[in-house]
A and B are shown apart, each in its own frame.
Chain A
Amino acid sequence: MPVVMDADRMSRTLTRIAHEIVERNRGVEPVALVGVRTRGVPLARRLADRLQEITGQEVPTGALDITLYRDDLMHNPVGPQPLVRSTEIPFSIDNRTIILVDDVLYTGRTVRAALDELIDFGRPRSIQLVVIVDRGHRELPIKADYVGKNLPTSRSESVSVRLQEIDGRDEVVIEKIPEEQAL
């Protein structure tokens, strides 16, 4: 189970991305962060802390649960379903630059769902995307604006971002999916 990013590296990566956000947006005046549940939420909060350290300004932070916007819900007429949790966006997104935060960018379908949901909340000036790991294999024309690490993978591998807040430690690991589950 190779660790491709440890806690130290992840911390420096988030700091670097925070600086890139400030540089690209010339500050954080119109910026708000929205994390995609589950792991995008603590990542967005960490970025907000760093942005405050850099600029002295507080950046509004929200959480998005995309379950109700997924495109794979209907594949099974009757069956188990992912737990739906609340979306919490306690600010207007109109005319703001929304920075969407997720852990892994893979097929792009989660981001598609997140974009659809965000647009139901208003009309942001623009939407930018932060991911900790881009592992390739896109199925939709979507790309990230800020990438922690580009990680070439095969589809038979899985990439897990683990976070202190949820998993008890910070790391990114790459694992081989057992043959029978990959099918």
Chain B
Amino acid sequence: MNPETPDIAAQPAGAPRLRRKDLVGIAELSSEEITLILDTAVAMKEVSSRAIKKVPALRGKTVVNLFFEPSTRTRTSFEIAEKRLSADTLNIAASTSSVVKGETLADTVANIEAMAPDLLVVRHSSSGTCHFLSRICRAGVINAGDGMHEHPTQALLDAFTMRERKGRLAGLKVAIVGDLLHSRVVRSNVQLLTKMGAEVWVCGPPTLVPAGFDRTGARVTYSVEEAVRDADVVMMLRIQLERMLGGFFPSLREYFEVFGMTVERVALARPDVLIMHPGPMNRGVEIASDVADGPYSVILDQVSNGVAVRMAVLYLLAGGAEHETAA
């Protein structure tokens, strides 16, 4: 077994705690809280490697997954995380809920709350939905993606994957390439990575880079070569085909020519670069197949780590007690 690392062997009295009901965004988290979530996720990852992939930590807790927008990866990941912690889970998709009958969001959620869930995991196409719900709900609210605002658990799993591979976040050069305008992933990632001391470069067609994006702390460039050069991590963002009717660029082929991640472009990065993508991928649009399946790709690690990070978030928000009973 590994030698015990001294910094975690003794648990100092002033150890960081997650004293909050909700996880609405990365914006509200301190770097200590982010570190606590990532450290907890290390232990959670071990649970997923056992023959019996289940611990009783959230036994008797009810978690409702409220997905008002289609999602397979995030919903499945949350559901597996909830089940591995022994929580009772319930999935409500917009198409099967009373929303289609004209009920307001607040009424839908008030009705669910009346059945006393402990946590709500919410995905919605409108930015700010989770903030709104966190104020009216007694249950904790976890943001699983709201409009163009934030997707905090995605940023946490991305950071977990980088830290696992590189051993640190501070000082890494991270290039994020793609549709910055519509991406909640980039908003959460830039905030998290800059808080943790990484150097973040963002790149995309000028029509898809919001004005003033450099105020987030990221460096903005329109040259994918500049963004990728000497990068430790290259993260592609999905070109959201359903949003591309607005004429942001002439054609998907032209996008791939100018911004697509090819083997030639990856060669500009550091030799041990990590290639990441939050999924779902459009092969041949933002990423070439031989890069997506190449030796530097950690895209499937991101998916595995997503379960561990979501277990950590669920546990830290729903589990836990003030007092430590002596042996």
Q: Is A1 an interface residue (CB 8 A)?
A: no
Q: Are A104 and B11 in contact (CB under 8 A)?
A: no
Interface positions, chain B 163-204, Cβ under 8 Å from A, are none
With A77-B118, A104-B326, A121-B51 as given contacts, are A86 and B21 in contact (CB-CB < 8 Å)?
no
Residues of chain B lying within 8 A (CB to CB) of residue A117: 55
* A6 on the B face (CB < 8 A): no
Chain A stretch 63-91: residues in CB contact (< 8 A) with chain B: 63, 65, 67-70, 72-88, 90
Minimal beta-carbon separation of B50 from chain A (angstroms): 7
Q: At the interface, yes or no: B56 with Cβ under 8 Å from chain A?
A: yes
Establish whether residues A38 and B44, one from each chain, have CB atoms under 8 Å apart when the complex forms. Answer: no
Pair A121/B52 contact, Cβ less than 8 Å: yes
- A19 to B319, alpha carbons, bound, how many Å? 41
Task: For chain B, give the interface size range.
Answer: 35 or more
Instruction: Give the residue among B2, B52, B316, B321 with the most A Cβ atoms within 10 A.
Output: B321
Closest to B138 in A: A77
Task: Give the shortest distance, in Å, between B304 (CB) and chain A (any CB).
Answer: 16
| B10 and chain A: residue at smallest CB distance | A166
Choose, from B35-43, B141-149, B205-213, B267-275, the stretch at the interface. B35-43
- Shortest Cβ gap from A136 to chain B (Å): 12
Q: Which residue numbers of B lie inside 8 Å of A, CB to CB?
A: 1-2, 4, 6, 8-11, 15, 17-21, 36, 39-40, 42-44, 46-47, 50-52, 54-57, 60-61, 85, 118, 140, 312, 315-327
With A80-B322, A81-B319 known, 8 other A-B pairs at CB within 8 A are A41-B9, A78-B21, A83-B8, A83-B15, A103-B327, A106-B327, A120-B55, A121-B50
Q: Does A97 contact B (CB under 8 A)?
A: no
Pairs across A and B, CB under 8 Å, 25 listed: A41-B4, A68-B43, A69-B56, A72-B323, A73-B320, A75-B321, A76-B321, A77-B318, A79-B320, A80-B17, A80-B321, A81-B316, A83-B11, A83-B15, A86-B42, A86-B43, A87-B43, A87-B46, A88-B1, A104-B326, A107-B325, A109-B325, A120-B55, A158-B326, A167-B10
